[in-house]
Amino acid sequence: MELSIERDRLRIDLNPWERILAFFFNQTLEIPLNHIRQATISKPETDWKDVRLPGTFLPGVIKAGTYYTSHGREFWYATHDENYLTLELDDEFYKKIVLTIEQNQIWRDRINQEKGAIAPFDQ
């Protein structure tokens, strides 16, 4: 997975294997920076009542794909329990995108800086 910021958009490029596991057949997710309400690195809440449709879930290994939660539709590609980057969105197909990436703190700060927000304190 590669993240980049081009003009006023965050671009998330998934490799072929990641697309298969997430049942996401577009190569790229693009989100206008002004649609990102907040980028955080705190561990996101998850619930056993979340409905996966479609996607892959192996406890403690991977949570990937589209999930319907009490908060709305979410996209997950999380492969371990650390290095989370959570994007809370407005006016987008997904209400939230949850990723695990190296340098998650750097990306949180960069996204919040690029969109003109002050990075929130994460515990």
Q: Is it the case that residue 117 has pLDDT exceeding 60? A: no
Which of 92, 91, 94 minimizes the C-alpha distance to 69?
A: 94
Q: Is it the case that residue 121 has pLDDT exceeding 60? A: no
- Asked if residue 123 is part of any domain, the answer here is no
- Asked if residue 76 is part of any domain, the answer here is yes
pLDDT band at 3, cuts 50/70/90? very high
- Asked if residue 119 is part of any domain, the answer here is no
- Asked if residue 93 is part of any domain, the answer here is yes
- Asked if residue 103 is part of any domain, the answer here is yes
Overall number of domains in the chain: 1
pTM for this structure?
A: 0.88
pLDDT at 123: 43
pLDDT at 48: 67
CB 112 within 8 A of CB 31: no
Which of 104, 108, 123 minimizes the C-alpha distance to 38?
A: 108
Report, as an integer, the average pLDDT of 77-88.
92
- Asked if residue 120 is part of any domain, the answer here is no
Which domain, by its residues, includes 12? 2-41+50-114
- Asked if residue 121 is part of any domain, the answer here is no
Mapping DSSP onto H, E and C, the string for 24-78 reads CCCCEEEEEHHHEEEEECCCCCCCCCCEEEEEEEECCCEEEEEEEECCEEEEEEE
The helix/strand/coil state of 121 is coil
- Asked if residue 30 is part of any domain, the answer here is yes
